[in-house]
Structure 1
Amino acid sequence: MTTLENDQLRVSIRPKGAELTSIFHKPTATEHLWQADPTVWPWHGPNLFPVVGGCLNNQLLIDGHAYPTERHGFARHTVFETTESSDAHAIFSLRADDKTRAVYPYEFLFQIIYELEGPQLTITYRVVNEDQKTVFFSVGAHPAFAVPFRADEAYEDYFIEFDQAEPLETHRLSAGGFFTGETEPVSTAGNRLPLTAHLFDQDALVFKNMRSRRVTIRTDKHEQAVTVTFPEFPYLGLWAKPGAPFVCIEPWLGCADSEGSPVPIEQKEAIQQVEPGRVFDASFTIRIQ
């Protein structure tokens, strides 16, 4: 376990999946990350790579071949090497090997960089192309934040605040987790989306290309808040297991397949790419107040 710490936050990251396991706010003695109750949902904040969401037939089509894949990719199940670590900074690295080549035939280096400054944690996803051809990929975050923040409060005391008041519509998912092509308006009060036990009864809310690039978990009862800012991520997922005391805020560069016929990886919606010898970086922040 790697720990980053200052006078505001203590952050823990485990090597498996380079996954956040704790964001502890010292001034209020509050653990803000869901603690992965295995009877409810056994993750804290998985990192999604090289796919986000599910692929039709559980396969990736690359260069005319079908490779087995699983929902959200293999990185969250893989032990990363801790290549740098200090009180304020850590880098976790995953390089292509025989196991990854069997399901994802590229030469790559995938790094997750954590940087702590005051009450803010910056997470950077870095993909280095070590191949002789273009590497196609998706990448995303899935942190689950504990709600409510205090024992004497209720889930329904909280809301998601978007940085802009805008009409929101979610892109519907099938029972298999694939986009149906249908959308549905999401009822908000101005720029607020109230949290309720049944908000996610129909699976995640998925927003594509909305104007907001910052969302905050808040209550009107006090000033404590968690803000996620994601200027480089056009897709956002919100999800919780219905009735569970957490909410996931998920910035994505990529998404699940749509129902229909599989397409080659380079034609997948929101697919990213990095050319030989090039480096791809994308960052988002988590700020506690």
Structure 2
Amino acid sequence: MNYTLQSVDLTVEINPVGMEISSIKSNITGIEYMWQADPTVWKGQAPVLFPIIGALKDGFTLIDHKKYIMPKHGLVRNSTKPQLIDQTDNSLRFRLTWDDEFLQQYPFKFQLDMIFTLVGKTLSVGHEVTNLGEKTMSYSLGGHPAFNCPLRDGEKYEDYFLEFEQKETGSTWEVEKTGLIGLDQKLVLDDTATLPLHSHLFDEDALIFKQLKSREVSLKHKEKGSVLSLNYTDFDYLGIWAKPGASFVCIEPWLGIGDSTDSNNEFLEKEGLLKLEPQQSETKSYSITVIA
């Protein structure tokens, strides 16, 4: 059963399985902004990425000389273990906590709360991580929301573009067929704030940016203007992805990144890791604002 948040403007649904956004719908126009998980294309909607992002080299990582196997994007996606622990008129808080099964995949006693808060046309997505163990905990964290594109009948994917808050000169780090991050870069943004969408943009997998100045990106229609914006002030990396030819686009704020092709499999040497001392908590948030 999904849980619902409502404002005058929007109705939002959260799926407790994976603590995933499943719907953001306008109460005025009836437009659905979230991809509706066609399983023949891609069954995800907004996976929570923890404690890794992307793929592990050879499917495993080493922690204290022991091998641990984790699926792509970590432990939260598709998990039926999260529980709703608090609900107010405009917020929902879900919790996923370590157990013996998780310890076989990731040897840290974690607690991850996902806090969804709806105010007007803005949905805030908070990730509160707590280290319940007795040793320093290292992890990565990220979001993976997929937005419908195009939104309306008669529109084309090519009618849309992404606009960054600042002009950018940025290269993507190429993704290998294994899902690992390659060592080569390809210039994508050349002193521009716009990224036109087209059906072949993701033929070689995601666009991965490590050093953008912008911390907000908007989805826009060439003639009808802004659709929505995503603010990721708390996040250092940005992924942009879709299945080639699919009618959605993912805007993915990350803290951390997948293993590179030259990884030595050592977890504590992964790029972009966050650290928490015992009994410490830290919250990182992004927000989605519907404009049209």
User: Cα–Cα, structure 1 residues 101 and 204, in superposed 2: closer, same or farther, change >3 Å?
Assistant: same
- Name the residue aligned to 2:183: 181
The two structures have a TM-score, normalised by structure 1, of: 0.97
User: Residue 191 of structure 1: SS of its match in structure 2?
Assistant: strand
Root-mean-square deviation (Å): 1.2
In the alignment, which residue of structure 2 is the partner of 1:260? Answer: 262
> 1:47-72 CA distances to partner (integer Å, 9 max, x unpaired)?
11110000112112111111111110
Contact 2:234 2:286 in 1 (8 A): yes
Q: 2: distance between equivalents of 1:112 and 1:264?
A: 28
Secondary structure of 1:77's partner?
coil
Code of the aligned partner of 1:190: T
Identity rate, percent? 39
Q: CA deviation at 1:150?
A: 1.2
Distance, in Å, in 1 between the alignment partners of 2:112 and 2:75 is: 12
CA 189–272 in structure 1, closer or farther in 2 if over 3 Å, else same: closer
Partner of 2:243: 241
Amino acid in structure 2 at the alignment position of 1:230: Y
Task: Give secondary structure in 2 for the equivalent of 1:30.
Answer: coil
Extract unaligned runs of 5+ from structure 2.
none
* TM-score, normalised relative to structure 2: 0.96
Query: Which string of whole-angstrom CA distances, capped at 9 and with x for unpartnered residues, describes residues 163-217 of structure 1?
Result: 0011121011111011111100015683110000000001000000210110000
| Residues 245-281 of structure 1: per-residue CA shift (max 9 Å, x gap) | 0000000011110112424222100111111111011
In the TM superposition, 1:102-181 aligns within 5 A as 102-181=104-183
Residues 89-134 of structure 1: CA deviation (Å, up to 9, x unaligned): 0011001111101111111111111011010000011110110101
| Residues in 1 aligned to 2:99 and 2:59: alpha-carbon distance in whole angstroms | 21
- Report how many residues are paired: 289
Secondary structure, counterpart of 2:17 in structure 1: coil
Residue aligned with 2:102, SS? helix
Offset, 1:28: 2.4
Separation (CA, whole Å) in 2 of partners of 1:211 and 1:247 = 21
The answer to whether the 8 Å contact 1:128/1:274 transfers is: yes
Counterpart Cα distance in 2 of 1:189 and 1:149: 28
Assess if the C-alpha contact under 8 Å between 2:145 and 2:250 holds in 1.
yes
Contact 1:225 1:288 in 2 (8 A): yes
Are 2:275 and 1:273 aligned? yes
Shift of 1:225: 1.1
Q: What is the deviation of 1:223?
A: 3.6
Cα deviation, residue 27, structure 1: 2.2
CA distance in 2, matches of 1:145, 1:123: 15
Distance in 1 of aligned mates of 2:135 and 2:189: 45
C-alpha change, 1:163 and 1:267, in structure 2 (3 Å) is same
1:1-289 alignment runs, 5 A limit: 1-79=2-80, 80-187=82-189, 190-289=192-291
Say if 2:169 and 2:192, in contact at 8 Å, map to a contact too: no
State the distance in 2 between where 1:188 and 1:146 align. Answer: 26
Aligned-residue offset at 1:6: 0.9
CA contact (8 A) 1:33 1:146 kept: yes
